[in-house]
């Protein structure tokens, strides 16, 4: 395990430090990068993915984020994107998820599809501004969900993760929320009304 401390560093320093650590490894290795802002998470993530890394990220606290990069081996010196500062990747799209399944037909297949959908959101060039979960979708942000790693990665990159409080209470999950924050119907309506585009799987 290699730890890169880029807390307090302005762009492009976190990317440069991470790239240097990646180029020094000789075999399979895990690199943890600590940064203090969402834009740094986005920039480090983009560079690491372009270099062949498997990347996840997590918000540890206010202005405290961890990006974990799994590398299979050494990286070519010229690999990866240049250490540049890119603007915030978030647009004004809202993703609304109302079920723990995607589509109708086979429930088991539906659960596989919704997990794949959430992972696909993490790969978008322009991330959504927020993701809202209600009714059965509320279970996806709670303990036991297969999508927690992907949702925590999105949250670390600045995507607002909101779950209906009434729904959590109905399913007995009020104390089991694992990512994002609890919201109410007024905020859900407000967010959807302000959105430039709404995606609902």
Residues annotated catalytic, as ranges: 11
Asked if 120 contacts 109 with a C-beta cutoff of 8 angstroms, the reply is no
Please state whether beta strands 130-133 and 93-97 pair in parallel, antiparallel, or not at all (unpaired).
parallel
What values do phi and psi take at 97, rounded to 5? -120, 115
Q: What is the DSSP letter of 128?
A: -
- State the alpha helices, DSSP H only, in 2-133: 13-24, 38-50, 107-122
The answer to whether 59 and 152 are in contact (CB under 8 A) is yes
Listed in sequence order, the residues at least 6 apart from 28 whose beta carbon sits closer than 8 Å to its beta carbon are 70, 71, 72, 73
How far is it, in rounded angstroms, from Cα 1 to Cα 70? 10
Alpha-carbon span 119 to 34, nearest angstrom: 23
Q: How far is C-alpha 155 from the chain's CA centre?
A: 5
């Amino acid at each position: 395990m290699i730890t890169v401390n880029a807390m307090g560093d302005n762009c492009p320093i976190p990317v440069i430090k991470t790239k240097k650590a990646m180029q020094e490894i000789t075999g399979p290795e895990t690199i943890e990068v600590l940064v203090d802002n969402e834009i740094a998470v986005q920039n480090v993530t983009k560079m690491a993915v372009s270099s062949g890394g498997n990347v996840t990220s997590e918000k540890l606290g206010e202005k405290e984020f961890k990006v974990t990069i799994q590398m299979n081996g050494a990286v070519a010196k010229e690999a990866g994107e240049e250490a540049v500062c890119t603007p915030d990747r978030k647009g004004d799209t809202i993703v609304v998820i109302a079920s723990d399944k995607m589509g109708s037909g086979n429930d088991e297949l539906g659960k596989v599809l919704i997990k794949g959908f959430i992972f696909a959101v993490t790969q978008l060039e322009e991330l959504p501004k927020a993701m809202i979960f209600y009714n059965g979708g509320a279970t996806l942000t709670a303990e036991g969900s297969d999508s927690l790693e992907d949702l925590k990665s999105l949250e670390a990159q600045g995507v607002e993760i909101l779950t209906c409080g009434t729904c959590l209470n109905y399913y007995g999950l009020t104390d089991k929320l694992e990512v994002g924050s609890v919201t109410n119907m007024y905020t859900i309506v407000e967010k959807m009304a302000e959105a430039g585009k709404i995606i609902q799987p």
